[in-house]
Structure 1
């Protein structure tokens, strides 16, 4: 009887992928130190790529030829390397040693260039790296502490950097190479995203359970709205109409209307409430969000359960799940 119960729980906990859409999802697993490459059309894992770093962030290059990982640093890694995954071979192709005592976390591509913007968490600098020459072309101080993640304005040479210890956002002019404003936010300012039209930035305040909303024309805070426990990553939908927030300790994804700034839905990941639910599912911990370019689906890393939760953006319901390695976090998409 007990063995049958264990088998039933095991089967229930298995991820079940039931949709069909385009592209490949690269899932970076921190603890198992590998990447799960999942074909979203066939519903199959097509590669498992070993990496020797504890990667926290990942992006796809503009030409789709590489996935780039940042190494935040661990006991056996210094955090000063970028790792390039070749998307044709699904193997590590090269690394770039930044030759600095830093922990790289935030990373974005500069449109129409071969350059990256990186955030140095230790020395609190914004870096501009030329991928081809492997040379850091700019180093701009954020003038704050524990600088973490970055977003670029879609129409202006402006970068916005979250600063966890200083509870703030640094507004940085990439032409003048200087900070033009420091915007106070909430306790432990963590994640950041910008509306597709560039009119607002939204940032999570992890230890205050809130979102700070900033007008990019005035660089003034226009609203502060509550979240559930420990909001980590947030991401706008492709059309900019909604913002999804991963509440790690809350075990939920909250959905906000961008125009009204109101919460319109709370998506509960099973495993936190009733006793039966706790037995049947792992305790959820959503930590990262990636939007599919088609605007139909969002992918959420559920790190405790070693799963990706797939959300239908029309119904705001979980419609499928993808199995991963240990402790999935960063996500990247390849068309």
Structure 2
């Protein structure tokens, strides 16, 4: 199904990673060595739905409708609430109760169309949603169903969002302007525009808010910015469509699924070195990514296969596959086990 490509220059780093993995088995429960439990909630982009997948049985428990064109998903920290953006024609967010497997409300964002990226703020009651149609970030209170604030990015094509741990700032990749907007959540103002390589989409930021990771689709680049020094720390070439970038919670590793290359790169965050790359078969279409709490098991949606691949990032091994609906994309993990 895949080929593991190892950079010989970094073999020592990879061996070190294996040692770390062995250590984890003695101190914590390593998901790759046992049956997983919990629930994945996966957006089915082509089916206008979300699937609730039980990890123990590896079966879809339930599939629920969204509004038109769902794309991204944010899971609340306790795993009890999932929020889905309805980007292509839906112009809304749908809030799901995971424990009861039901939609509890749909919040209208028609004044702020094409909502796409979504993340929970630190208070776990509000979400930051990028509106590509209005070039803004909308802060939405999912409990009241009301819009708390609208922050203009003053750039074009504001597509994805990233938040540091404090959630005092929000960052958007602006695909048409080739920038990232840094926004102040409290004051609702644009603080600065950060120039990036062309067509930035994938984005994440470390907890401290000091390192910004951006994937650029034109030119196939992944860039790490130092936000304190206003400089570039590292840049990698060779990607085609670096669809997403995600750091482990302990910030030791980063993963980058490439939708067009059908690859997944694993990167040592501290050393800024690629550890290894998984090569998948043509027609896989790697897209959404989310980590299990063990921080080493990755759930990755395979858009063209209508599956989720469960991957051990240290060994670069696919542990097993899960079924989804049509066109899986945004994905979130919940520790809740559904009846």
TM-score normalised according to structure 1 size: 0.85
| 1:134-180 deviations in Å (ceiling 9; x for gaps) | 22222221111000111112136111111011111111122332111
Q: How does 1:82-121 map to 2 (within 5 A)?
A: 82-121=93-132
- Report the Cα offset of residue 63 of structure 1: 4.8
Of 21, 27, 34, the match for 2:42: 27
The count of corresponding residues between Structure 1 and Structure 2 is 304
**Structure 2 counterpart of 1:326:** 326
- Does the 8 Å contact 1:18/1:320 carry over to 2? no
**Structure 2 counterpart of 1:280:** none
**Structure 1 counterpart of 2:287:** 287
**Closer, same or farther in 2 for the Cα pair 1:39/1:18, shift >3 Å?**
farther
Q: How does 1:132-211 map to 2 (within 5 A)?
A: 132-155=143-166, 157-211=168-222
| 1:277-328 deviations in Å (ceiling 9; x for gaps) | xxxxxx2211121111221310111111111111102312212111111111
CA distance in 2, matches of 1:99, 1:244: 34
**Structure 2 counterpart of 1:38:** 53
CA distance in 2, matches of 1:186, 1:60: 30
CA distance in 2, matches of 1:198, 1:166: 22
Aligned-residue Cα RMSD (Å) equals: 1.9
**Structure 1 counterpart of 2:72:** 57
- Does the 8 Å contact 1:66/1:87 carry over to 2? yes
CA distance in 2, matches of 1:113, 1:306: 30
- Report the Cα offset of residue 128 of structure 1: 1.3
- Does the 8 Å contact 1:209/1:226 carry over to 2? yes
> Which segments of 5 or more consecutive residues in structure 1 lack a partner in the other structure?
1-16, 273-282
**Structure 2 counterpart of 1:311:** 311
**Closer, same or farther in 2 for the Cα pair 1:206/1:22, shift >3 Å?**
same
Of 247, 267, 275, the match for 1:236: 247
Of 129, 134, 142, the match for 1:123: 134
1:71 aligns with 2:86: yes
- Does the 8 Å contact 1:254/1:265 carry over to 2? yes
- Does the 8 Å contact 2:67/2:92 carry over to 1? no
Deviating more after overlay: 43-52 vs 296-305 = 43-52
- Does the 8 Å contact 2:242/2:257 carry over to 1? yes
- Does the 8 Å contact 1:234/1:288 carry over to 2? no
- Does the 8 Å contact 2:113/2:132 carry over to 1? yes
CA distance in 2, matches of 1:27, 1:94: 18
**Closer, same or farther in 2 for the Cα pair 1:267/1:174, shift >3 Å?**
same
- Report the Cα offset of residue 24 of structure 1: 0.5
- Does the 8 Å contact 1:55/1:71 carry over to 2? yes
> Which segments of 5 or more consecutive residues in structure 2 lack a partner in the other structure?
1-31
- Does the 8 Å contact 2:76/2:124 carry over to 1? no
The 3-state SS of whatever aligns with 1:231 is coil
- Does the 8 Å contact 1:20/1:41 carry over to 2? yes
Deviating more after overlay: 49-58 vs 166-175 = 49-58
Of 211, 220, 226, the match for 2:231: 220
| 1:70-129 deviations in Å (ceiling 9; x for gaps) | 0112xxx3x321111221221222211124151101111111252111111011011112
TM-score normalised according to structure 2 size: 0.84
